[in-house]
Amino acid sequence: MNKTFNYQRRDTVSVNVGNIAMGSEWPVRVQSMTNTPTDDIEASAAQCQRIAYAGADYARLTAQGVKQAQNIGEISQVLRHQGCNIPLIADIHFNRQAALAAARVCEGVRINPGNFVDPARTFKQMEYTQAEYDAELARIREALLPFIAACRENGTAVRLGVNHGSLSDRIMSRYGNTAAGMVESVMEFLRVFVAERFLDVVISMKASNVVVMVEAVRRLVAAMDSEDMHFPLHLGVTEAGFGEDGRIKSAVGIGALMAEGLGDTIRVSLSEEPELEVPVARKLVDYIAPRGSQQPIEGEYCDGYDPLSPERRPSVEVAGRIGGDRQPVVIASYRPDEVDRAVLQPDLYYSGDGMIDGMHQFLVPLDRWSGERNAYPLLTLGEWERCQTASLRFLQVPASTPVERLEFLRGRTDTVLIITPVGINIPGSEQALTHGLTASGIDCPVIVRNTYGDSSSEWLQVKAGADLGAVLLNRQADGIWLEAPNIHNSVEVIRYAFAILQAARQRMTKTEFISCPGCGRTMFDLQSTVRRVQQATAHLSHLKIGVMGCIVNGPGEMADADYGYVGAAAGRVSLYKGKQCIEMNIPEQDAIDRLVSLIKQNNDWIDPAMPDIN
């Protein structure tokens, strides 16, 4: 039985974070992080309380220095006096003394292997002999020993939190800015903790690029398994962004991994108030956890499939646009006049009543199909023999269909297979069939059709992102068909379908904004700034733009972005092109205009399309 097709939690040790333990024998825990200055005791305590009341198990606070770390102890006292016992976790970058101070007053301390010992990255190439590299590892061990001792003495848990954007120059010089580099960055630290028999450790591997984040977590699990390590995992997509895009991007990455039984605590990082992150994370947990009760799904990987780095399922190209190397298509169950106002147009429409026009491509039921050039029949298995004249057919089957019943599709270049899920483990059922098809040499294109009865937009974002994202990240689909009959805004549903494809890096259709959730280090009002940057650049669908509250992860996380807007100091912003800082410490009130000018100077600007007044 392949665990990818069945939900089963990965076995881990238990780690106590204050009075709330995490690990495979406990429910998946939810957390969030404050965005108040940690020097403001009352405001930070109030926000921690809101996070707790929203349903979070843990709250994290930034601690830039020793004073801020000690402040968390005072925040804890205020909360306990108010009857709020949520465990507090200090977030440390660069400052080992702050980590030692936090270990004495917090239930948990997060340190970043990219900057706990190594200096801030400068993206320069460094050369090491093996002896020199071994000396660096010895230096890491010596730096960690006092911290481990303080955590052991105070019963403090540790999170080793690797960010794709803050790998050290040493790691990047040997491994590149890759998922493999992220894994080695944390394994260097983990080996020290294991050697010292300190096991109250949780690990996170985060990136703003969902594909990198998912690959890094999977590679970490393989690396830990090879060394008999079983530490819990914290999952999150860092700098996920704002609004529906942030929710969908998080659901795609976190949901894909949770579907495989990975993840013992999660955070949905949004550029919004932190208490708003918690209900989204709770929805993910509540949606995926019940899958353990489903009857096992039979199936196994097809030969040659590498779950650590999936390649696209081989399929023939049909009708010059579906399958093969073509980007995944989107089908919509709406009339074209319902979505003509949408910027993003689906590739095909489904018309259940058979009403079509000459401007769009349609799927119609067989009993409504009359051979129009722009309409194609949607068939069931029982209808297949009744339709032999169409140049292009869409055959819909449930995911539980035995592959043997589909062997007649082998070698055909005129058919697209549409799979509908079976049971509550939607991506598991769909992928079991796609792997079975490949193993049997059936290479027709596959589109997954998922229908959700939710009337809540946030629930739809979470469910569809987690389900369709898992199939797309594993490269098993040539298109998606998202239906939500109780969401009455058709444009909204279509927008979510394209957002899911973009989060999985399968099809880019709009500007991608990489924005941090904010914390006590943030140098400007993050939410209003993200909105203003979006207003100025949202039409640049060929670009990725980062908005970062401070310098800690900014340039690194924005290595995947084309341009960056980073808080440099109070009222000051630095602008980046890729990893390179182009303008430093410019006044915040001028920053967006200067960002637009920078994009224009590099010939990446496109004027917004004028509305059609006719």
Buried b or exposed e, range 25-46, using 16+ CB within 10 angstroms: ebebbbbbbbbbbbeebebbbb
556 pLDDT higher than 60 = no
In this predicted structure, what is the pLDDT of residue 112? 92
In this predicted structure, what is the pLDDT of residue 611? 43
28 pLDDT higher than 60 = yes
571 pLDDT higher than 90 = no
| DSSP string of 526-591, one letter each residue | HHHHHHHHHHHHTT-TT-EEEEESSTTTHHHHGGGSSEEEEEEETTEEEEEETTEEEEEEEEHHHH
Crossing angle of helices 426-439 and 457-473, in 10° steps, is: 20
554 pLDDT higher than 70 = no
In this predicted structure, what is the pLDDT of residue 33? 95
DSSP 121: P
pLDDT confidence bin for 517, thresholds 50/70/90: low
For 329-503, CATH gives: 3.20.20
Location of each CATH 3.30.413.10 domain in the chain: 512-601
In this predicted structure, what is the pLDDT of residue 589? 86
The helix/strand/coil state of 479 is strand
pLDDT confidence bin for 1, thresholds 50/70/90: very low
In this predicted structure, what is the pLDDT of residue 613? 37
| Token code pair at residue 166 | 């803050």
Dump strand ranges (E) for 333-414.
Answer: 348-350, 362-365, 375-379, 393-398
Distance between CA atoms of 170 and 275, rounded to whole angstroms?
37
Helix (H) or strand (E) holding 158: strand 157-163
Quick one: fold of 3-290? TIM Barrel (3.20.20)
Residue predicted with more confidence, 558 or 588: 588
In this predicted structure, what is the pLDDT of residue 368? 87
Show the 3-state SS of 264-321: CEECCCCCCCHHHHHHHHHHHHHHHHHHHHCCCCCCCCCCCCCCCCCCCCCCCCECCC
Residues 238-258: pLDDT tens digits? 876 778 999 999 999 999 999
Residue whose entry in the numeric block shows the structure tokens 């440099």:
568
Report the top-level CATH class of 512-601.
alpha beta
Location of each CATH 3.20.20.20 domain in the chain: 3-290
Residues 311-332: pLDDT tens digits? 999 999 998 889 999 999 999 9
| Percent of the chain predicted with pLDDT > 90 | 63
| Weakest-pLDDT range from 50-54, 243-247, 435-439 | 243-247
Distance between CA atoms of 537 and 560, rounded to whole angstroms?
17
Q: Over range 373-379, report the average pLDDT.
A: 91
Residue 300 Cα distances to 4, 168, 305, 413, angstroms: 8, 38, 10, 26
Q: What is the CA radius of gyration of the chain?
A: 25
Distance between CA atoms of 199 and 231, rounded to whole angstroms?
8
Q: Over range 269-287, report the average pLDDT.
A: 95
The amino acid at 353: D
Residues 29-40: pLDDT tens digits? 999 999 999 999
Q: Over range 170-190, report the average pLDDT.
A: 90
207 pLDDT higher than 90 = no
Distance between CA atoms of 183 and 207, rounded to whole angstroms?
12
